[in-house]
Each structure stands twice: as C-alpha cells, then as structure tokens.
Structure 1
Amino acid sequence: MAASPTPKLNANFPSLDALQHLGPFAVALSGGADSTALLIACATRWPGRVHAVHVHHGLQAAADGFEAHCVALCERLHVPLVVQRVNAAHATGESPEDAARQARYRALAEALQNNWGGQMQHMVLAQHADDQAETLLLALSRGAGLPGLACMPAVAQRQGVIYHRPWLDVPGSQLRDALKAAGETWVEDPTNTDTRYTRNRIRATLLPVIEQAFPSFRQTFARSASHAAQAQTLLQEVADLDLQLVGNPPAIKALQQLSQARQSNVLRHWLALEHSQASAAQLQALLVQVKACTTRGHHIDIKVGRGFVRRDGAVLRCYNL
C-alpha cells in the first residue's frame, strides 16, 4: 500500500480552485484513475471537508474489487465513504451505457439525501478533457442539436444535487501521470477496453488519430462545446419569451406569426415542460401542420415522443401516454 499523501503531493495534481468556495462536499469515487486522483487531491487539500460515494453497479465480477479499493483508499485518507448498490441492468431497447448512467445519478442523489444528515448538496465528478471530447464526438455522430453539442457543463443541477466537474480542461493522461508520480494505484475497469461500446471505440480508435492530426483538439473541442452551451442558453431565453407570447398551451395563430426557427424553438421548450420530446422528423411534421392550419376544421394529431400533440380549438395540447 502506498504511503499516505502529504500536502506536497497535492502539487502533482491539477488545480481544484473552482471548488474552493464549497463547504463539505462528496466525490463520486468509482475506483478508477480519474476519481482516485480527484479524491486524493481533494482530501489532501481540504482534510475533513471531503466525503465519498461509491456506486456498486453489480454488473461484473470486478465490481467487488472496485469497492474494496475505494474502502481502503477512504480509510487511509480518513474520508467518510458511502457505498450505494444499484441494479443497473438495462431494459429491452435501452442502451446499457445510458441505463448505467441513469442508475448512477439516482444512486449519487440518494446517497446525499440519506447520509450526512441530508444537508450535503454538492457532488464532484472526475470527468476530464478526454471525456468531454468523447461526448462531443458522440453527439456529432448522433446528429445532436445544441443541447447535445454543449456536452458536459462544469456545474449543473440534477435531482436536487449540484454537480461540479473541475477537470474538464485536464487531459486524462495528466491525472494518471500524477498518480504514478505519487506512487498511487487505481482499479482498471475491464469494460473500458470493450469496443462494443461506442465511447470505447472513440477512445481507442478515433482519439489517437485526431490527436496526431490536431494535437490541441481537447482545447478546441472544449471551446466548441462552450460556444454551443452559450448559444443554447440564448435559445432558452428566446423560448421563454416566445412561450409568454404564444401562451401555454400555445395558440396556433400566435405561433404562425413567428419564424419557423422560433416556432421550432418554442415548441421544443413547451414539449419539454410537458415532459415530452419530439424527434426532428416529428417536430418538422408538427411545423408543417401548424403552417397549414388556416381553417376551423383543420385537424392536427402528431405523434410526439410517447404521446401526441393535437389541436384543441385555437391551441395545441400535448397528451402523454
């Protein structure tokens, strides 16, 4: 077992100045290199302020080894640890990666709500510049709009938890180098080399090629994601204003006074408020019907997400199944 970290080891890890203003917070600790580096850096810089949550997915035999590493590390650093066990199996037609991610976020939120007096709101994640680049490439491969291209924000709120990602501009290799320099170990997830998963194929095959052609791709990709996030914020503000203009539920005649781009933007916003989400094809079909709705008898009934958007007199209504 490596020696306990000393304050000078903190110099080996990237800056965590973005977390300086926080009170007590928790680190999401998987046991991999990134989260191990994050916990050591945080616990070294702010002893007594840091807690940890480990999510045991139960999807592979190695999961018990991840937990054992986390328990031993937290005991050595004197960091209180909560282990959350979840069933992350995916349903038919659901992405295994997405199912595991959703289960993980639920578990992290439950850990904060059910431990430490339920007073802790802040969770720190170890996602870094390589993860951000992979996220952007995934979004591009799926034809995502601005919300997808904005990738992962440095700070975000979800299910009552405020998530912080202080290392989105830090290459993953820098974290591993810092651990090696400190004589620290971590656990390698065997699924990280399974190229059946799209993100792993991007990591193993695509990123090395991109780095050869564009050595600064991490910084430029992050800048593009930041531009997309800023543009999405602006679109959200326009959607809020336009929804006040057209009403909720939206009046068809008021919608027709807007450009098609603003109709699309405000309808997406309205549907999100109705807990529905339209595909690009469904939204286009709805826009066509809104434009054509010039007579009292014109019928609108468009499948949207898991429900329908239908004309109800002068307005549109969303009906979820």
Structure 2
Amino acid sequence: MSHASRVVAVAVSGGRDSTALLHATTRAAKALGVQVVALHVHHGLNPAADQWQAQVERQCARWARDGWPVSARCTRLQGSPSPGESVEAWARRERYAALAHMAQQAGAPLVLLAHHRRDQAETFLLQALRGAGPAGLSSMPREAVRGGLRWIRPWLDQPASAIAAYVARYRLSHIEDDSNHDTRFDRNRLRHDVWPALLAAFAHAESALVQAAHLAQQAQALVDEVAAADVAALRCAEGLLSVAGWLDLSAARRAASLRHWLRQQVDEGVPETLVTRLLIQLPGAKAARWPLDGQRELRLYRGRLECAQRAMLSPTWSPGAAATAQETAPFPLHRPGRWPVPAWGGTLTLSGVDSGGVPVALLERAMLRERQPGDQFQMAPRSLPRSLKKQFQAAAVPAWARGGPLIATADQVVYVPGLGIDARAWAAPGEPQLSIHWASDEPPPSAEKGTLPKER
C-alpha cells in the first residue's frame, strides 16, 4: 500500500461480525501506521437504526481516545424500493453505492466486508433455489474490483464460531438486529427454519456448500474467458456482433457469448428471459428488434446485432396519419429551427451551414410528402439516380431508419430520411443553405414480436 493510500475502510453495521472485523483491522493498523475508517449505512428501515449509528460512532470515538487510528463515517439512505423491487434488493444496491461513495471521500482504495463461511454457504443455497447458473452459484467473491475500489472479504473461510470466540475474548459490545429474526425475508427463513435441519442431517453441509461455490467460481471464470474471446472474434464493428459467426458456435458458447456481449451493452443485469428469447429467435431472423429496457433496444439488420436507443411512439401519431399529410408543413421549410411533425411521428431540424446543405431558395418551394412510386434519389453528383428502395439497400439503411416524410418540390426530391440530401439539391459554395435532419419517434408495428415491417 502506497503512502498516499494508507487508509483502509471497513463496512460496519454495528453487529457482531462487522464489529469484530473493525476491531481486528484497527489493532493491526495501529502497528502498521494505517488509518481505519468505519463506514456505516443508516437504511432508515428499522426504528432502532438511529441507535445503531450512535453505537458505531461511540465505539470509534472511544477507541480513538485510546490512541487507535480509527474514525467513523455515516450516511442515511434516501428513497425507497421501486414498484416490484424487494426491500432486500433495494437495500443491498443502495448500501453498496453509499459505501463506495464514503470510501472514496475518505481516500480509502480498499473496503473490507465481514462475511464469513456460513454467509457464503447460505448465499449458495439461496442462489440455487432461485435457479441460478454458475455466475449466481459463485456466490460472494473473496476479492472484487468495482468502481475503482477493491472489496475484500478476509473472513470468508472463517466459521461463525471463530468470530464469536473473538468477540468474547475482547468483550466487544455490539448490536442485535431484531429484523434478523423476521422470516418474511428469504435469508432469515433459510437461517432459522431450514439451516438447523440441514446441519442435523448433513453435518458437513456448510463446508461442502462453500466448496461448491468455489468450484462454481472457477467454472464461471472459464466461461467468461471463452466468451470474451468469442465476442472479440465476433465483433464486426464497435458494439456490433456478427450473427453469422455466432451461429457457427456450439449451443453452449452461443449462450455464453450472448450473455457476455449483452453485459457489455448494459450496466444492469441481463434478464435470462431475454437471453432465452434471443437464443430461439436470432437463428431464423433477418431483421428484427427486441426491447431491452425503457430507453434501449436490440436491433438485427444484415446479420449484425446492435444495442441502440429505443424509438418511442408519438402520442399524436397513428398509422394512417402520414398517408393523408400531403400538404406543405405548417412551418416554413426555409427557416432554421426544430419542428415537431406529429403527422409523421417525428421532428425535423433545420440548421444554417456553410456547405453541404440545401439552398434556402429551393426550400421555399418545397413541401413534406409521402414516398411515391417512381421517386429516385441521387447519392453523389456523378452517380445515377436510383429508386429509393435500391438506394436504401445499397447504403444498408435498416427499415426502422426509413420512416418519415420526404422533402420535395413539385419536380425534385430534396431530402429523404435515412439517405440525406439528394446530390441534385446540394447548394453551390457561398449560397445561403440549410442542413436537414429527421428524427423519428415511430417504433415498428411488431416490435414486441421481434419482427420488422417488410422493406418497401
């Protein structure tokens, strides 16, 4: 540990295990010249929580007066679980975020956690009962790096009896959380109703389950290593996955590489239901979409899978609205601005530019309209005009990026969403001109089924 980082943090609830860890860490730190900071999170869930915080603060203050290098930092959680989220899951997520924030404020690169062997065995059982795979069955790692911090559980191989003996030896005062006896919570129900019977039938259950967790960690590490190599080989562009190469993998490697790639796209956990759905639908799909969350979706086009912002339906848009919107837009196309166009479910943005735009004089005669049979688009000055469908295909524009109105005069296409400005409408150097950008709010009609409209 460098001189600049001679600070160690210990997560302390005030209970027996964390109090013992804080005491042992502070004893060792005194001889090493290391500062210890006790991190306490007030969850606001128990009427006695104020007393628990006061207990941690008093204990640290008493040891500090005796010359021990320890201080306390406390924080109270704000908010509450979201609809459908368990109190346990919310408290755990928010607790670790609060611990990380306090450790960073204290300048501590290392956070110690007081989990022991019984905790690890319980976690393995709970994960197994939830149908977890190797990642879940790996339970708690001895050491992990998250958010630039090292999280270490130094007592993960220690039995609870050893910690109890330490507390008795040094006569350490600690709190007793009465909520630990509330069997509405999964872990408490396992601890009080199941664990005694399990140990009575299998005396070696604790050590055996911990060994199983260790083997699951090794298996998951191997899965991650192979999946990372597969995803690296399948990456056809930044963030895009080649489905053709993915289909050449075995079924097990398909599933592992897909999970690995999805974890790279999202910060939150990836639902196993989505993985199962993709494993079934991807092999036979040509162009498709799958909702990922409220903001993002997965898109398949021309054999490449990507994660992108999810288009949301405009509340004023209806499938037949655009077909009747043939009149000039209710705003001047020759003026800069950001113009919502509810009839087509999107927004048109016009901006002044020095080059690469459309002459203002031409836009004064333009209108918004639907695509029509015979419409052609010219990509470059010396290229030949071709049908919109052929130009979309040549430019690899997916079906979901082709929606929205054309900008055209009576005899000339000016702008096409997904293709841009027609080369025949480019402004001459020095001519007043505007750039054009269309952003559609329209999702595909069959997004929830993982399909897309037929190309046209």
TM normalised by structure 2 equals 0.61
CA contact (8 A) 1:109 1:160 kept: no
Q: Which amino acid is the alignment partner of residue 277 of structure 2?
A: A
> How far 1:302 sits from its partner (Å)?
3.1
Q: Deviation at 1:88?
A: 5.7
The CA deviation string for residues 157-176 of structure 1, in whole angstroms up to 9 with x for no partner, is 12222111011111223312
Aligned CA distance change for structure 1 residues 95 and 226 (closer, same or farther; 3 Å) = same
Between the aligned partners of 1:213 and 1:23, the Cα distance in structure 2 is 47
- Does structure 1 retain, via aligned residues, the 8 Å contact 2:287–2:301? no
Equivalent position of 1:60 in the other structure: 46
Q: Flag the structure with higher strand content.
A: 2
Which residue identity is paired with 1:46?
A: A
User: Gaps spanning 5+ residues in structure 2: where?
Assistant: 65-69, 311-456
Residues 59 and 89 of structure 1 are in contact (CA less than 8 Å); yes or no, is this contact kept in structure 2? no
Q: 2:85 aligns with which of 64, 82, 94?
A: 94
- Cα deviation, 1:249-300, whole Å, max 9, x if unaligned, reads 111111111111111111111111000654333322212223224xxxx333
CA RMSD of aligned residues (A): 1.8
Structure 2 Cα separation of the partners of residues 133 and 305 of structure 1: 33
Match of 1:250, SS state, is strand
Aligned counterpart, 2:55: 69
Q: Equivalent residue for 2:13?
A: 30
1:202-228 per-position Cα deviation (integer Å, ceiling 9, x unaligned): 111111111112222222111111111
Q: Does the CA contact (< 8 Å) of 2:121 and 2:207 recur in 1?
A: no
Quote the offset at 1:69 in angstroms.
Answer: 1.1
Query: Matches of 1:130 and 1:320 in 2, distance apart?
Result: 43
Residue 208 (structure 1) aligned to one of 181, 196, 205: 196
Q: How does 1:1-321 map to 2 (within 5 A)?
A: 23-47=6-30, 49=34, 50-78=36-64, 79-87=70-78, 89-115=80-106, 118=107, 120-247=108-235, 248-275=239-266, 277-293=269-285, 298-304=286-292, 307-319=296-308, 321=310
Higher relative contact order (CA 8 A, sep 6+): 1
Unmatched 5+ stretches in structure 1: 1-21
Name the structure where helix makes up a greater proportion of residues. 1
Residues 7-41 of structure 1: per-residue CA shift (max 9 Å, x gap): xxxxxxxxxxxxxxx94311111100000111111
> Deviation of residue 73 (structure 1)?
1.2
Cα pair distance change 1:61/1:278, threshold 3 Å: closer
> Once the two structures are aligned, what percentage of the paired residues are identical?
37
Aligned to 1:10: none
Secondary structure of the residue aligned to 2:240 is coil
**C-alpha deviations, 1:143-187, integer Å up to 9, x for none?**
011111001011111222211101111122331232123222210
Conserved? CA contact 1:51–1:81, under 8 Å: yes
Q: Distance in 2 between matches of 1:56 and 1:123?
A: 18
2-structure distance, mates of 1:53, 1:287: 43
Q: Indicate conservation of the 8 Å contact 2:287/2:302, yes or no.
A: no
Task: Name the amino acid aligned to 1:263.
Answer: R
Q: Distance in 1 between matches of 2:180 and 2:149?
A: 27
CA distance in 1, matches of 2:270, 2:169: 49
Query: Aligned partner of 1:203: which letter?
Result: R
Larger of the two Rg values belongs to structure: 2
The one-letter amino acid paired with 1:66 is W
Instruction: State the TM-score, normalized to the length of structure 1.
Output: 0.86
